[in-house]
Structure 1
């Protein structure tokens, strides 16, 4: 059983390196934000957006019912999105499908290029799916860590990796 799990995890990790880098110009694009309301605290650097929030920067899109944007003099440092579910998507490279992530809460650490997705976390790339109670995805290092539930509910990490077809 342990060998099967190790093989499946290795196979999954081998399919995920394409998630490593978003399109190179995404981080150089302006950030567009739309929401029903916003509240900015200039001292703390935290802006809270509520109501059908959408943040777009290049191919990156973040959606949620409530989104906190944390800034300092160097720019946006952290984005926390909550929703039913919160959503993240980005195209890793021009020849790869869009990567989509869903969860009740997402915490995106911009400088680390790391997203922590919690509560019914799911990542989709093409036809492959990765689910768990918590997924930590480091885009820069192409490392994905998924965790099942610590509670008695027993939610386990699940992966569905589609077979490669001719031409893929």
Structure 2
């Protein structure tokens, strides 16, 4: 039974489009940041933005009440966004709709091409929805991992996959 459930889960995950196929021109575009307040520490390389923060690079958009941008000599290494909810979106490819992610905290590790969404995590792709306590996207490897909470709170991973129609 456990193997059947694991196989079904893996098959369902394969139906989710991978962020690894994000538009290649996104990384070549400038990063635009707007916020109510910003505080930059040149020694640590950390800039903290607060108040209706929005970061845009091509089709990638990150929104939150507070966003930390971690930089070093090689550029932006990590973006941590918090909010109720924090938001991330990106278009996987020209022929696919935006992938949208929501959670109270998002940790985007740029070098690893990995986004970890925690606390009421949700991902929407078209009409499909994927929820859990924590969702980890490895964009480069096209791997999605979702986790429920502990047994006491009872939150489980939930997926709603819409049937494909002839036009899709």
- Give yes or no for TM over 0.5: yes
Name the counterpart of 1:56: 56
Mapping for residues 26-37 of structure 1, pairs under 5 Å? 26-37=26-37
Q: Which SS does the other structure have where 1:111 is aligned?
A: coil
Q: Aligned residue for 1:140?
A: 140
When residues 16 and 159 of structure 1 are mapped into structure 2, their CA distance, relative to the original with a 3 A threshold, is: same
Matched residue pairs, number? 168
User: Who is 1:113 aligned against?
Assistant: 113
User: 1: CA distance between counterparts of 2:34 and 2:11?
Assistant: 38
Match of 2:19 in 1: 19
Query: Is the Cα–Cα contact under 8 Å of residues 32 and 56 in structure 2 kept in the other structure?
Result: yes
Q: 2:86 aligned with 1:92, yes or no?
A: no
Gaps of 5+ in 1: none
Q: Using structure 2 for the length normalisation, give the TM-score.
A: 0.95
State TM-score, norm by structure 1: 0.95
Compute the displacement of 1:119 (Å): 0.2
SS at 2:9 equivalent: helix
Q: Measure, in 2, the Cα distance between the counterparts of 1:113 and 1:163.
A: 29
User: What is the match of residue 154 of structure 1?
Assistant: 154
Alpha-carbon spacing, 1:18–1:107, altered in 2? closer, same or farther (3 Å)? closer
DSSP-derived class of the 1:25 partner: helix
Q: Distance in 1 between matches of 2:88 and 2:56?
A: 10
Structure 1 window deviating more from structure 2 (35-44 vs 4-13): it is 4-13
User: Is the 8 Å Cα contact of residues 16 and 142 (structure 1) preserved in structure 2?
Assistant: no
Deviation at 1:17? 4.1
